[in-house]
Structure formats: structure tokens, C-alpha cells
Structure 1
């Protein structure tokens, strides 16, 4: 799978990284001009070239979602954030209560990214690595399973601190590798998996259920948070809400194309929600 390699450094002081989002500055900021998304979307970056990365193919529990900064159970949300930063080379990371990093050693950590584009918010969607890059910066390289295994994306899934969450831009061979390590992590009870209720069923009695107790796929969490802002607490109308949101995706095991998570989400007793397919069985369209 050809992907653009960009060499640079990670910088976290003054930012709010989580388990799948971090800031990166290329050694040559002009190389952001080589990255494009659908409709010509460009990477949004500051004057020094610093931009936000969305780590490709993974989704970690939320530390601060939406304007109300709602979080998922912080035991795993913070574990994912801390593991990511450690893997990128940072130690002694200190945070304010609002998740902003106030200090870290070193101030910046060398690394590289592998990318094929941006998301709707202008974030670079990337595989991220630390240390020396596997090729020259500013050029495409072939990313196979061996290269993928050197990235923090792969590591976060392997240790069970991030869900595999696939979009169409990711090649089948890389998706298969991440599916395999996710299933191994689940089977061996790594990380969040012993607590995961995505496919076994989660009883939602209010927002505090989602913030304090229940571990579920972050995409499902985000939809539930948005829904609960509009409802009286009952999940009876949640499928209709999902139909209106119209997430577009395919179910790999059936080949079915869907518009709306209501096709893979069941609600019982107006309080219990569960997905009928694991995360790795879905491939989403990029918005």
C-alpha cells in the first residue's frame, strides 16, 4: 500500500493528546502540501507547521468529547493516552485537569508518519512511528504488514487499548493484520477487552453510565452521548436517531452496504444497547 512518508517530531506541551490524537510537525512544513483529502482538503496547520494527527484505523476511549468535554471511563481513556505518549518517546508527562499537557521530557520526540489524506476537520489521517523513518521523507513508500507493525497504531491495538476502526482508504492486507492482533488481544484479555460491553450489551441508565462505568466502542459512545442530549433517557428512539445520522459503512462478513448504525445496533428494554457485529467487521466511508 503506497503511503506518503513525512519525517518530523511530536510535540505535546500545550496540547490535549488522547489515545488516538497527537500533534506532529514535519521537518519540512512544505511537505504538508503533498497531502490531500477528498475535495482537495488540505492539512490544517499552524505557522510552524504543527498539525493534529488522527491515528488511522484505531479508536481509543474518549478523554474529552464535544463541547461538554464528556469522557469515557478514564481508567482506559488515560491508559491509552499514556501508552501512546510513552511509545512516542515521552516521559514525565504532566497534565492539567482539562487534559492539557504542561510538561514532558523531551520537549519534542523525533518520528515519522505515513499518510494518504485528511479528514473533514483538516486533521492528517496517519500511521505514526517513533525514531528513524523507514524511507526518505516526502516520498511514497510501500507500507506492508512489516512496516505496519512498527507503528503506534498497531501497538495500541495489540495491547488492547484501542479498538480497530476501519475506513475504506486502508488496504485489505493492513486491515487483516490489525483484525488479527485485535482478536488476539481480545482472546487473551488484554487492556480494555475484559470490560468491553460493545457486543455483549450495556445498560444505559443515564450519561453517568457512559462516563463512569461502561466500556464500549467510542463511535457508539459518541452517538449515544449526542442522542442523550435530545432524549429523556430512554433508548427506545435510539435506532431512529442512528438512521438519521446515517453513518455509511459495509459489513465485511455479509458484504452488506448500510446507511446508519441501526442495522448493527440492537436496543432492548429501552435501556440496553449492543452491537451485533464487532468493530473489525465494519468498514466506514470517510465523511
Structure 2
């Protein structure tokens, strides 16, 4: 991953639990991030950073038209915890209804220092994908002693450094789902999976309310998704998009819709033999079981690794 030092800024933005605006000290280092052309950096050099390895409940998803959200309690808890952990205080957002109600109108300080460990950029949103850390880049033990790394350096991120990220912190508190893509190294995935499993076993955060794997979600209408069911955000997005596309909440055609997306993933678990090799699938109809109006995740989400798009 590529180290980039800089500052986080939230005023006038809509940070949720797993995205934030980042301003590099030297925007030229964006050029070192794989897939840089997909990073939607502004004229000042800032970009939206999407947190690697985790997914928090949607607070302002906008597939078409108005913004929508999942049940807000855990989405807001994740966002509040993330901002406080980075060092922002007194955060206020615009009240009332409408597309801008999540916009930050006040925070102190105006910016906080930190660094990201960037692995690439996502194509749909043009966001940098990274581990997000606060403060100065630490000294890291290495084969030749200890070294202070700087912006532009590429490193194999050790697990100890992962543990200093907000990505790890939110998983530890049970405020985020583990959601892994193939670019994330296996050692980091395993640490994040272990932390998520412990949070679930300890009934922390959203886990007691989650129905993605525990019974599944029975969909009556869009309000089920926006106001009631605590589910994996990826499933929320696919279900919401499907209902808009389908024109009704009937899930009769959902398996075909999920298959049509051709999304590839691998399940690493004893269910499919060697956890080192896993079993690959194409189409999310292989990941979610649909029975009538009920949708249920077939495997523990930390055992699933999605292919990069």
C-alpha cells in the first residue's frame, strides 16, 4: 500500500462511517496510487477516501433522485465514532429533511493530521480505497532495524499498523461489517475477520440487531430496508436498486437480477474444502438465498472475498 500523509477535513462534507475527505500534504502523491485516474480529486488536491475492508450502514445512499438510508442509529454511531476517533469535536450537521441533511456545518478543529495507506481506487465512485490512520506515520520495525516511512513509500502493511487504523477500530466496536476485496492482503483480512467475529460473539454494536445471516430479511416494502432491517450494506444497495428497477417489492425475479450483475467472489471456509484456496462463484445469487420475500446470506461475510471490479 502507498503511504500518503495529510489532513482530514469534514466541514461542508457528508462523512459517513466509512468515507471521509482527505487532503494530502503533497497532492502529487496521488499519482502513486494504483488506479489514480479513478480518484475524484478536487482542484485543491483533496479526494474522498473509502475505508478498506469495512462497510457501515448507509446514511445517504443516492441511487437515483433523493438520498435514502438504512436504519440511522448504527450508521450515525459509526460516523460519530469515526470522527471522534480522528480528533474532531462538536460536530454538527444540517438538520431537517432533504439531500443535504448529513452535511457538516461545524467541527473543531477544521482539520486533523493523519495518513492513509492506499491500495487503489474504486471505479463506480472514483474514491481512493485505504486504511485510515491518525497522527504522524509511526516508526515500523523491519529487517534492517526501524525505519520512519514517508509519503510515497510503498509498504507491506504489518498487522500492528492495521490495528492503529479506524477501519480496525470500527470493526472492534461492532459498528461495521467486514467487506473484503481481493486487493486486501490475506494477513490483514484474517486480522479483521478475527476482530469482527469477536465483536459478533460479544454482541457489540450492530451485531445483536443484524438479520443478514441470522434469519434473513423479509422484505415487505422499501421501508423495511430504510427504517427497520439492519443488514449488510451491500445487500441493502442491491435490494433497493432491484425494487426500483422491478417497480415492486416482489422478490420473484431477484435471483435473476443478482445473477445478471456477474459479480465474482470467493468463499474461504471449511465448507468448501481448503480455507487457503476457497471456492469461486459468479453472481450474487450464489451468495444470498431467496425464499419468497426472505433473503439470507449463505456464508459468514468475513469468509467472503469479492473480486475487484
Q: How does 1:68-83 map to 2 (within 5 A)?
A: 68-83=66-81
Question: Cα offset for 1:20?
Answer: 0.5
Contact 1:35–1:42 (CA under 8 A) maintained in structure 2? no
Match for 1:112 among 87, 111, 115?
A: 115
User: Do residues 228 (structure 1) and 243 (structure 2) align?
Assistant: yes
User: Do residues 127 (structure 1) and 123 (structure 2) align?
Assistant: no
Match for 1:166 among 169, 180, 201?
A: 180
Deviations 1:144-201 (A, max 9, x none): 1100000000001110000000001011100000000000000000100000000121
Question: Cα offset for 1:142?
Answer: 3.0
SS in 2 for 1:82: helix
Tell me the TM-score normalized by structure 2: 0.89
Contact 2:217–2:294 (CA under 8 A) maintained in structure 1? yes
Deviations 1:46-99 (A, max 9, x none): 121110001100000000112331100000011111111111110100101420
Question: Cα offset for 1:263?
Answer: 0.7
| Residue of structure 1 in register with 2:289 after alignment | 266
Question: Cα offset for 1:140?
Answer: 1.6
Contact 2:38–2:122 (CA under 8 A) maintained in structure 1? no
SS in 2 for 1:140: coil
User: Do residues 46 (structure 1) and 42 (structure 2) align?
Assistant: yes
Contact 1:8–1:112 (CA under 8 A) maintained in structure 2? yes
Unaligned runs of 5+ in 2: 96-100, 139-148, 273-277
Q: How does 1:160-199 map to 2 (within 5 A)?
A: 160-199=174-213
User: Do residues 237 (structure 1) and 233 (structure 2) align?
Assistant: no
Matched residues in 2 for 1:203 and 1:116: separation? 36
CA shift in 2, pair 1:155/1:70, >3 Å:
same
Unaligned runs of 5+ in 1: none
| Residue of structure 1 in register with 2:89 after alignment | 91
Matched residues in 2 for 1:153 and 1:196: separation? 19
Question: Cα offset for 1:247?
Answer: 1.5
Give the 4+ runs in structure 1 shifted more than 4 A.
none
Report how many residues are paired. Answer: 282
